[in-house]
Amino acid sequence: MKTILLTNKYSGAPLEIVKEEVPEGFSIRFLPEQTQDALIAEVGSADYILAGGRLKISREALEKAKKLQMIQRSGVGLDALDLDAIKEKGIPLYVNQGVNAESVAEHALLLMLACLRKLPTINNNTKNGVWKKQEQGVQTAELKGKTVGIVGMGNIAKTLVGLLKPFKVNIRYYNLVQMDENFEAENNMTFVGMDELLRNSDIVTIHCALTPETRNLINKETLGVMKDGAILINTARGEIVDPAAVANALKDRKLSYAALDVHAQEPIPEDYPLKDIDNVILTPHIAGVTADSFRAMMHDAFRNIECFDKGELDEIAPYRYL
């Protein structure tokens, strides 16, 4: 029986979904703790790795992975993988391309609307007996007609563009490559430089990968370029945003609101600079996790492993990276 080593830890309902999706003829194994030492100790027994996005698949661990046939990412991000080592060892790597794009895009839209309507503040006021309808209402805003700046234009961002279309927003986007002109025209999109995007967007939403170039992309200097009173959304990777700089921008009202699903340190520490600020929404890296997306993620990942084991994967899932 082939062994699949999962680097993420699951319990409760997520664990039950994982168990239901394991294909016949395979056993699953979990790390006793999510550490490099535990991975190095356990990886030698693995025929396959189902890699989450937190624990690094390091060169040292791969040196011990003598039976390893393939690595399957449960999601799409590659920043927790030593890609150079994986390539040198010739280990096939597959990702679940686009599996949670709808979920993350919906969450990004949800956060935009919640910030514009100052939902946490209004909710707390209402529960505490504050009933100032007009006074509170005129402090909120609609999404319709706003300029939305999208940083990165992968599957999630393109899905978000579709969700934004009924709101008749103006989209400025920054990406390594320009989209097809028909796609731009259909969605009221303009390809711009990063500086122009920051200066002219009412809402800036982050959807790029974490790379050396994008680490701390949103910092004191880039926040200073942004439009006064703008909103910042991040559902990509926490390390793209400097939380201390965002905290200062919120306190100074340079930003009117911010909403972050991903954080430089997860779980967030006690001294997290954004934790006790009123005009910020924090969620626990949950944008890509719904009952629907999690089951699809596990189903597709295990199916890829099963098909690879049968020598059929390249015919079915072309999302091979290495």
User: Would you call the peptide bond into 267 cis, given omega within 30 degrees of 0 as the criterion?
Assistant: yes
DSSP 3-state helix, strand, coil percentages of the chain (rounded to 5)?
Answer: 40, 15, 45
For residues 285 and 73, the answer to whether their CB atoms sit within 8 Å is no
Residue 7 tokens, joined: 């680097």
State the CB neighbour count (10 A cutoff) for residue 253.
10
Q: Is 207 a catalytic residue?
A: no
Q: Is 239 in the active site? A: no
Give the closest residue to 151 by CA, choosing from 78, 211, 97. 211
Candidate list 73, 237, 263, 306, residue with the active-site label: 237
Residue with tokens 């303009």: 190
Provide the pairing of β-strand 2-6 with 26-30. Answer: parallel
Candidate list 266, 270, 306, 315, residue with the active-site label: 266
Q: Which residue, among 94, 61, 53, has the nearest Cα to 77 in the 3D structure?
A: 53
Q: Name the nearest CA neighbour of 61 among 79, 46, 76.
A: 46
Is residue 161 exposed (0-12), middle (13-18) or buried (19+ Cβ within 10 Å)? buried
DSSP 192-219: --HHHHHHH-SEEEE-PPP-TTTTT-BS
Which CB contacts under 8 angstroms, 24+ apart, belong to 189-197?
189/161, 194/151, 194/222, 195/225, 196/172, 197/149, 197/151, 197/172, 197/173
Strands 48-51 and 26-30: unpaired
Rg (CA), the chain: 21
- Could you confirm whether 196 is annotated as catalytic? no
Q: Which of 42, 73, 285, 306 is catalytic?
A: 285
Using DSSP bridges, classify how beta strands 189-191 and 230-234 pair: parallel, antiparallel or unpaired. unpaired
Residues 289 and 270 sit within 8 Å (Cβ to Cβ): no
| Catalytic site positions | 237, 266, 285
